[in-house]
Amino acid sequence: MIYLNGEWMPIEQAKIPVLDRGFIFGDGVYEVIPSYSGHPFRLREHLVRLQSSLSAVRISNPFSPDRWEQLVRETVARNPWEDQGVYLQVTRGVAPRDHAFPKGVQPTVFMMSNPLVTPPQSLREQGVAAVSVPDNRWLRCDIKSVSLLANCLLRQAAVDAGAVESVLLRDGFLTEGSASNIFLAKNGVIITPPKSNFILPGITYDVVIELARANGLPLEIRQVSEAELRAADELWLTSSTKEVLPISTLDGKPVGHGDKAGRPGPLAARMNQLYQEYKRTVMRAPAKVQESVAK
């Protein structure tokens, strides 16, 4: 069951006018919120990021956070899967095609849910292949925009190379993945680029940083050069659907050194374990408590 502009219906019945600016211009923003056993994960944080995206593209938020929370919970309740990925999208609405914003138009609100299939433990122990690709996206990668053509092309570059994710480099520095944030470990220190207009401020990225701090793991948030990326002891990606997923090869070369090269290392394994434990805590905790658990 999906939600479209105030109504619930089976997805097959959902229709939007061809002049929706989401269709014509990619003029809209979105969120993907994981829900485990009926508990939306970090819901308030996702709604804060939604507000930032909406403000950045100057679409007024159609709902209060409480109303959004209600709708996300209802989407989960109306769909059958134990774990779900709730997708919500707000576009500027329907108007005659003109780049300038239309006046007095209601945003289109669409919500759906999919079964959430997170990587199995075997894959987390094995790691995945990634390739490096020049980051040729626009300069507002902090906005979770539905205009994802560049991300689609970058992700397909990974798929074409038989890999799972592309690791993006802009002007010789690591930015993020095509649909994930990237962490590395070097000499026992976890390193990740800072939030800026070059990366999406990932909700999972925040959780990993909080967990590293709460557990006394050395952490540096700073720019990462291409040379450092290639010399990393460990690499992993984070996202709401992939969680914490080690990268075992980059451009066909094993990540890491010596006899451990190409196999996920201890910090990725520890972070995975902390993340899975945190998730279990969240599943037991009422929504309001979730926000403070890792802080």
Residues carrying an active site annotation: 144
Amino acid at 214: A
Q: Select from 86-94, 97-105, 226-234, 237-245 the region that touches ligand PLP (CB under 6 A).
A: 237-245
Show Cβ contacts of residue 292 under 8 Å, excluding neighbours closer than 6 positions: none
Residue identified by tokens 């994710």 is 165
146 is a contact residue toward ligand PLP (CB under 6 A): no
Query: Among 204, 248, 249, 272, which residue sits at the site for ligand PLP (rule: CB under 6 A)?
Result: 204
Question: Least distance from C-beta 112 to ligand PLP, angstroms?
Answer: 16
Nearest to 116 by CA among 151, 76, 155: 76
Amino acid at 183: F
Instruction: Build a one-symbol-per-residue string for 29-58: x at contacts with ligand PLP by CB under 6 A, - elsewhere.
Output: ---x--------------------------
Q: Select from 114-122, 126-134, 176-184, 265-273 the region that touches ligand PLP (CB under 6 A).
A: 176-184
Q: Select from 91-99, 100-108, 234-242, 262-270 the region that touches ligand PLP (CB under 6 A).
A: 234-242
Near ligand PLP in 57-86, by CB under 6 A: none
Query: Among 35, 89, 91, 239, which residue sits at the site for ligand PLP (rule: CB under 6 A)?
Result: 239
For residue 86, list its beta bridge partners.
33, 113
Question: In 216-255, which positions are buried (b, 16+ CB within 10 angstroms) versus exposed (e)?
Answer: ebebeeeebeeeebeebbbbbbbbbbbbbbbbbbbeeeeb
H-type alpha helices, the chain: 21-25, 43-57, 65-78, 121-126, 149-160, 203-214, 226-230, 266-284, 287-293
For residue 128, list its beta bridge partners.
247
Question: Least distance from C-beta 198 to ligand PLP, angstroms?
Answer: 10
Query: Among 176, 248, 264, 290, which residue sits at the site for ligand PLP (rule: CB under 6 A)?
Result: 176
Q: Select from 11-19, 68-76, 199-207, 250-258 the region that touches ligand PLP (CB under 6 A).
A: 199-207
> How far is 75 from 109, CA to CA, in rounded Å?
13
Provide the binding-site residues for ligand PLP, judged by CB under 6 A: 32, 151, 176, 179-181, 200, 202-205, 238-240
